[in-house]
């Protein structure tokens, strides 16, 4: 097991380029199963989650050639049903994304339950309900999912929640289904838009990309192609947060600014601002860091909602920024009942946070954080604790950094380049 040792209080300065979007890379890797022709993906982030997905693809007899550290060639012309490694499936939530492509290509699949972050119950029912509308039979016994379909047929799919992974699975199952499929109450995050653009590049017919109602006309087969994954907006905002709480100034190149309007609006409420120059983001020094109250000087609330509203994956980062902003603010994440549980570690560092219930907390700032021994509980909370440690006075130790490595490529090296005093060591 590895850990980070951080001596905080050092302003971050300089420039960096974010890695490819983790949440786009995982469904795109799964989507390579949909075609028997070669596919090349560029800007695949070199993180633990993508490494695990690549191992799962290899177990299905996909030929994979690494062209450079972040580019791969995939050949799924001879895929075969296989008993997927339960340990690998438990490592990532995205293992469920193999269902849609494999049902489309080979008509059946036995899948161990997916894993991922421990942030509360994460249903797979929506996936099964979507598959049923396309003619897929789903059984669950012996702690395994069994999917079977003799022939996929287009259907009207109304998702009972705007689930990102269920939307992605429904898209991938529909592109080769006979006839027309409509997916209503679809999620529309940037990574879903990328999946649709990638599949259209291969010959799929997906319309209304970016909306919550997708129309898909099935095709007999998809071709090959080459695609470059866009920047990870969650990493971009994480580094904005790190610069702000340390009093630094950074430039983020190729930041994908078109997806950040709502996030920018919410961050303004915490006293955080940045400027754009083409597709770069410039975070200036001496941020205001004053919480903007609601009308009548009421305590404001930041609540997560489906895209294009503020995403749940940035809630932990926003909470850390709020500990360094003047004023009071309520955070509300109704999606996951364990998202807020990392806040006790911030309290141990000196933050003034009241955990109202599993879904809500109130932050009063600013407070000087102090170095502490910490444990990374999940990807986003782990990154939030790392940002807190960069802001803190004194030395912090963060254990279980493999959780952070699941979603952030070489985060310690990127931070070092910006001047952070951070060291990775083996325990």
Q: Is 414 within 8 Å of 26 (Cβ atoms)? A: no
Please tell me the distance from the alpha carbon of residue 49 to that of residue 416, in angstroms, as a whole number: 23
Please tell me the distance from the alpha carbon of residue 202 to that of residue 214, in angstroms, as a whole number: 17
Tokens for 193? 């838009």
The H or E element spanning position 156 is strand 156-158
CA 328 to chain centre: 28
Q: Which of 92, 99, 112, 118 is nearest to 407 (CA)?
A: 92
Q: What is the arrangement of strands in the sheet containing 249-252, beginning at the earlier edge strand?
A: 13-16, 249-252, 280-283, 275-277
Q: Which of 27, 32, 15, 14 is nearest to 230 (CA)?
A: 27
Q: Is 273 within 8 Å of 227 (Cβ atoms)? A: no
Angle made by CA atoms 117, 55, 139, in degrees to the nearest 5: 65
Q: Is 410 within 8 Å of 11 (Cβ atoms)? A: no
Q: Which of 423, 414, 382 is nearest to 46 (CA)?
A: 414
Q: What is the DSSP letter of 61?
A: T
> Is the sign of the CA dihedral 203, 205, 207, 213 positive or negative?
negative
Alpha carbons within 13 angstroms on the beta-carbon side of residue 390 total 34
Q: Which of 304, 301, 329 is nearest to 314 (CA)?
A: 304
304-312 contact pairs (CB < 8 A, 24+):
304/332, 304/333, 304/334, 304/335, 306/162, 306/187, 306/188, 307/187, 307/188, 307/189, 307/190, 308/188, 308/261, 308/262, 309/262, 310/262, 310/263, 310/266, 311/189, 311/234, 311/263, 312/336, 312/339
Residue ranges in 67-179 assigned as alpha helix (H): 86-91, 99-106, 125-132, 164-174
* Residues marked as catalytic: 117
Please tell me the distance from the alpha carbon of residue 307 to that of residue 262, in angstroms, as a whole number: 9
């Amino acid at each position: 097991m590895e850990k980070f040792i951080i001596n905080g209080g050092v302003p971050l300065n300089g420039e960096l380029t974010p890695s490819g979007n983790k949440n786009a890379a995982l469904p795109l890797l799964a989507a390579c199963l949909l075609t028997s022709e070669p596919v090349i993906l560029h800007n695949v982030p070199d993180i633990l989650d993508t490494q695990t997905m690549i191992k799962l693809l290899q177990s299905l007899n996909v030929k994979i050639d690494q062209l450079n550290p972040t580019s791969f060639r995939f050949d799924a012309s001879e895929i075969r049903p296989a008993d997927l490694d339960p340990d690998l499936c438990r490592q990532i939530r995205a293992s469920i994304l193999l269902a849609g492509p494999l049902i489309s290509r080979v008509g059946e699949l036995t899948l161990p339950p997916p894993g991922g972050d421990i942030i509360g119950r994460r249903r797979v029912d929506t996936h099964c309900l979507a598959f049923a509308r396309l003619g897929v039979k789903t059984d669950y016994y012996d702690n395994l999912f069994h999917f079977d379909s003799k022939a996929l047929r287009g259907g009207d799919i109304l998702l009972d929640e705007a689930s990102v992974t269920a939307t992605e699975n429904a898209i991938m199952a529909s592109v080769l289904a006979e006839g027309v499929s409509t997916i209503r109450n679809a999620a529309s995050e940037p990574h879903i838009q990328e999946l649709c653009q990638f599949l259209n590049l291969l010959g799929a017919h997906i319309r209304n990309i970016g909306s919550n109602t997708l129309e898909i006309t099935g095709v007999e087969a998809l071709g090959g192609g080459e695609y470059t994954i866009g920047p990870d907006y969650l990493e971009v905002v994480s580094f904005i947060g790190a610069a702000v709480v340390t009093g630094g100034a950074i430039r983020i190149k190729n930041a994908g600014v078109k997806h950040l309007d709502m996030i920018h609006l919410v961050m303004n409420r915490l006293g955080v601002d940045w400027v754009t120059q083409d597709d770069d983001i410039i975070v200036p020094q001496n941020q205001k860091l004053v919480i903007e109250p609601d009308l009548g000087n009421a305590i404001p609330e930041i609540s997560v909602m489906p895209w294009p509203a503020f995403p749940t994956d940035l809630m932990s980062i926003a909470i850390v920024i709020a500990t360094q902003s003047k004023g009071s603010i309520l955070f509300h994440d109704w999606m996951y009942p364990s998202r807020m549980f990392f806040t006790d570690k911030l309290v141990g560092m000196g933050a003034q946070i009241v955990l109202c219930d599993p879904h809500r907390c109130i932050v009063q700032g600013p407070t000087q954080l102090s170095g502490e021994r910490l444990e990374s509980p999940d990807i986003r909370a782990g990154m939030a604790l790392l940002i807190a440690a960069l802001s803190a006075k004194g030395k912090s130790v963060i254990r279980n950094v493999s959780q952070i490595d699941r979603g952030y490529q070489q985060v310690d090296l990127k931070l070092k380049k910006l001047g952070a005093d951070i060291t990775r060591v083996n325990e």
